[in-house]
Amino acid sequence: MRAPPAHSLRLDWRGCELLLLPGRALCLPWAGALLIADWHLGKDDVLRRAGIALPAGSLDAELARLDGLIESTAARELVVLGDLVHGAVHGEAPWHQAFSRWRARHPALALRVARGNHDRHLDALAAEIDEIAPAITLGPISAVHEVDGTAPGLQLGGHLHPVVRLQAGRQRERVPVYWIRHGQVVLPAFGRLTGGWPLPARAGGRVYAALEGAVIPLPSAD
C-alpha cells in the first residue's frame, strides 16, 4: 500500500495498524482493506416517498468520496460493516442504478459485507457483492455490524453512528467520531442521512473526530 493518505491518523491497535480517514472510513494497510459502516443506500428514496424534499446529488457526492478513498489507499477490497442498504431494493431505483454503475467501474475491487439489521433485502445485490456474512474475517480482526462487548478478540463495527457535540463559544457542532474501547472500534456512519448517537460523556475509551479534512483526537471519554 502506498504512503498514508493526507490528514489520516495512524494508530497501533492491539498490534494491528489502523488508519483513520477523514472520509468516515478506516483502512487496514496490511490487509489492503478499506472499511466503511452504515451507508444506508436508498434512504433518500424512502424519505422522499414520505414527503421530505431532499436535494439531489447526495449519492453522487458519497460515491465520489468513496472513489477518493479507494484511490488514496490503493485498497484491494471494500468491507462494509452492515447496513449497506436501508430498505427494499428496486432495480429501477436511481440509487440502485448509480450503485451498479459504480460497481462496474471497480471490477477488481472485492466487496464484502457484514450483514446489518437493515440489510434484510441485501441478497437482491448478491450478484454485485463477493461475500455476505454475519462477520468478515480480516487477520485477527472480526468485522461485524454491531460489536459484542462480551466477545473475545478484536472487533470492528458500526451500527451506533457515534457523534460528539463540540462547542466553542456560541458555536456548536455535532461531528461523527471513531470510538475505540478495549478490543473494539466503532466507525462513524458513512452515509450522510443516517443521524447519530451522541456518545455519553463517560462512555470510556478513546474518541477521534472524523472532520471533513482531518481526523483529530478528542478528550478522553473516560
pLDDT in tens, 21-44: 999 999 999 999 999 999 999 877
At residue 52, the pLDDT reads 61
pLDDT of residue 103: 96
**What's the pLDDT score for residue 36?**
98
CB half-sphere exposure, 57, CA atoms < 13 A = 1
Which of 109-118, 191-200, 205-214 has the least mean pLDDT?
191-200
DSSP tally for the chain: helices H, then strands E: 3, 16
Q: Which residues does 12 contact at the CB level (< 8 Å), separation at least 6?
A: 18
**Residue 61 scores a pLDDT above 80:** yes
Residue 56: per-residue pLDDT: 60
> Higher-confidence residue: 88 or 143?
143
| Amino acid in the structure at residue 58 | S
Which class is domain 9-217?
alpha beta
% the chain with pLDDT above 90: 69
Identify the pLDDT of residue 88. 78
User: Does residue 55 have a pLDDT over 70?
Assistant: no
Which residues does 196 contact at the CB level (< 8 Å), separation at least 6?
A: 161, 162, 163, 174, 176, 188, 189
| Residue 194: per-residue pLDDT | 80
pLDDT digits (tens, 9 = 90+) for 90-135: 777 888 999 999 999 999 999 999 999 999 999 999 999 999 999 9
